[in-house]
Structures are given as C-alpha cells and as structure tokens.
Amino acid sequence: MKNDIPKVLKIAEVRDENPTVKTYVFRGCDLGAKPGQFVNLWMPRVDEKPFSVSYCDKDEFWLTIAAVGDFTRKLRDEFSVGDKLGVRGPYGKGYTIPEGKKIALLAGGYGAAPLYFVAQEAVKKGCTVEFIVGARNKDLLLYLDRIDQAEGMNLYIATDDGSSGEQGYNTQILERLIGDVDIVMTCGPEIMMKAAMDICEKAGKPIEVSIERYMKCGSGVCGNCCVDGLGVPVCTKGPVMLGSEARKIKGLAEFHRDNVGFKVVW
C-alpha cells in the first residue's frame, strides 16, 4: 500500500564535485530508484525540495546538489556527515534503458548527474555511451573524471567560453554524432533539450527528455507541475518523457510556472 511519509536518513558521505556542487551519499536504504527518477528531500523546520537521484543500488543512493538557492545553500553550509534529512520517493518515470544500443547522452550543466546514473545502467546492459556534457564554463562541469575513466563511455565537452573542451554548445557535438547513435537521452535546460529534440527529429532518432517544473507533492495530486497542452502533472507522467510527447507541451522552452501557477519566462 501507499506510504509517502518521509523516511529520515543520516548523510553517510559528502563529496565535492565542483565549486558549487556536492554529492550526498545515503546508505542502508534500498530506495529502488531508476535513472531519471527523483526524491523529495526534507530539511526539518525549513522546506522540502525535489532532487534527481544520481546513483542508486541496493545499499546506497546519491543526490548531487548544486548550492544555488536558500535550501541548497543551507544544505551546503549546515549539513555534513551524520546529519539527518528526510527522504521520500522515488517519484516519476525514469529513462528507458535499452539493451545493446548506441546511446548519446546530452547533459547541460547539472544534468550530468542523473545522466551518469543512466550511463552506468546502460553500460551494464551492453550499451555504448557517447556522453556529451556542456556548461557555460569549466567550473560548472561535473563528473568528468568518472565519465572519462568508465568502461564503455566516451566523453565530449563543450563550454560557452571554451574554458574546457570545444567552444560553443554541446548540441553541436550531438549534431555530429547523431548519425551513429540509436537513441538520445538528455537532461538540462529546456532550450537545450528542445534543440536536441529538433536534431533528433531531423535525423529520425528517438529522444527522451526530462521536464522540470515546480513540484510539491510528487504524487500527481497538487497539480502544481501540470504542463500546458498535455495537462498532466510531470511529477508522475514524467519527468522523463519521449520527445514526441514533450512536443505537445505548450510553451516548451518558453515558460514554466511558479509555486502558485503563474507563468514565468525561462
């Protein structure tokens, strides 16, 4: 039966990924999350926010979190090994990982974290992974060493300022590789994912995207993450969906909605 009450866990380990991003490891919990799914992280007396899972097995799971808002800065400044946080989930639909295919992963900024989880599972299933990362500059990239050293993964880097990899957008790398891959999976800014959808449509290749909206319940109840056009809550009908489905979202890469449902331009 359904139980959606937060389970309190201690932080087992904290790893620095880059100047703004840390990975929080929780152990002794079989979360059962698939790549692309997310959890709600509860900080008692403060707030609760959704975060995608960056790794999960029977004994542990990771949340890779950038300190960019009130909640995440408090997490960075005040929480360390042994401190307690509440977790509930996993929520939503994850990526569909095929067997023995050539996959291109397109990560914008922090999107590399959940896609690294995809890459690991895909390699286990005999896939080869072209892992394309992109960010404004090198300080915002993450997981580079892990990807570079992993079996079955090839790393490609693009930065807006050319401080790492080639200068420009990561989608230009996807454009070069698209002919040689079977499927694309992407996570990052919506404008980047939309561009990737266009590249895939032109090449006749399927793509899965991860749609981020202001989420509260994670259970398809509160309606705050419902998208225009489709009318469905992406916390349960997404966040990962086929590009062909995501195309039906009105205002894709143009606007999202805030905590009371007001339109906000991306």
Token couple for 205: 């290749």
5 lies in the site for other proteins, by CB under 8 A: yes
69 lies in the site for other proteins, by CB under 8 A: no
Token couple for 51: 């975060």
220 lies in the site for other proteins, by CB under 8 A: yes
User: DSSP code of 234?
Assistant: H
Q: Which of 15, 27, 84, 202 contacts other proteins by CB under 8 A?
A: 84
> Do the Cβ atoms of 35 and 121 come closer than 8 Å?
yes
Count Cα atoms within 13 angstroms, Cβ side, for 185: 29
Q: Compare residues 61 and 117 and give the one whose CB is closer to other proteins.
A: 61
223 lies in the site for other proteins, by CB under 8 A: yes
What b/e sequence results for 27-60 when a residue is b if at least 16 CB atoms lie within 10 Å of its CB, and e otherwise?
A: eeeebebbbbbbbbbbbeeeebbbbbbbbbeeeb
Number of H helices, E strands in the chain: 7, 15
**Size, binding site for other proteins by CB under 8 A:** 41
> Do the Cβ atoms of 111 and 210 come closer than 8 Å?
yes
Q: How far is the CB of 233 from other proteins (least distance, A)?
A: 7
Q: Compare residues 109 and 233 and give the one whose CB is closer to other proteins.
A: 233
Q: Which of 13, 30, 47, 161 contacts other proteins by CB under 8 A?
A: 47
212 lies in the site for other proteins, by CB under 8 A: no
Residues 6+ apart with CB under 8 A from 107: 115, 131, 132, 133, 134, 170, 186, 187, 188
Q: Which of 24, 26, 42, 156 contacts other proteins by CB under 8 A?
A: 42
φ, ψ dihedrals at 184, nearest 5°: -120, 140
78 lies in the site for other proteins, by CB under 8 A: no
3-state secondary structure at position 242: strand
149 lies in the site for other proteins, by CB under 8 A: no
28 lies in the site for other proteins, by CB under 8 A: no
Positive or negative: CA dihedral 215, 31, 53, 48:
positive
Q: What is the β-pairing status of strands 21-27 and 60-66?
A: antiparallel
Q: Which of 14, 86, 150, 166 contacts other proteins by CB under 8 A?
A: 86
Binding region for other proteins (CB under 8 A) out of 3-11, 27-35, 95-103, 132-140: 3-11
109 lies in the site for other proteins, by CB under 8 A: no
Q: How far is the CB of 230 from other proteins (least distance, A)?
A: 7
* Interface with other proteins in residues 236-255 (CB under 8 A): 236, 250
44 lies in the site for other proteins, by CB under 8 A: yes
For tokens 């002919």, the residue is 179
What is the x/- site pattern for other proteins, positions 48-67, by CB under 8 A?
xx------------------
Token couple for 8: 């309190």
Residues making contact with other proteins (CB under 8 A): 1-6, 8, 40, 42, 44-49, 84, 86, 88, 216-217, 219-224, 226-233, 236, 250, 257, 259-262
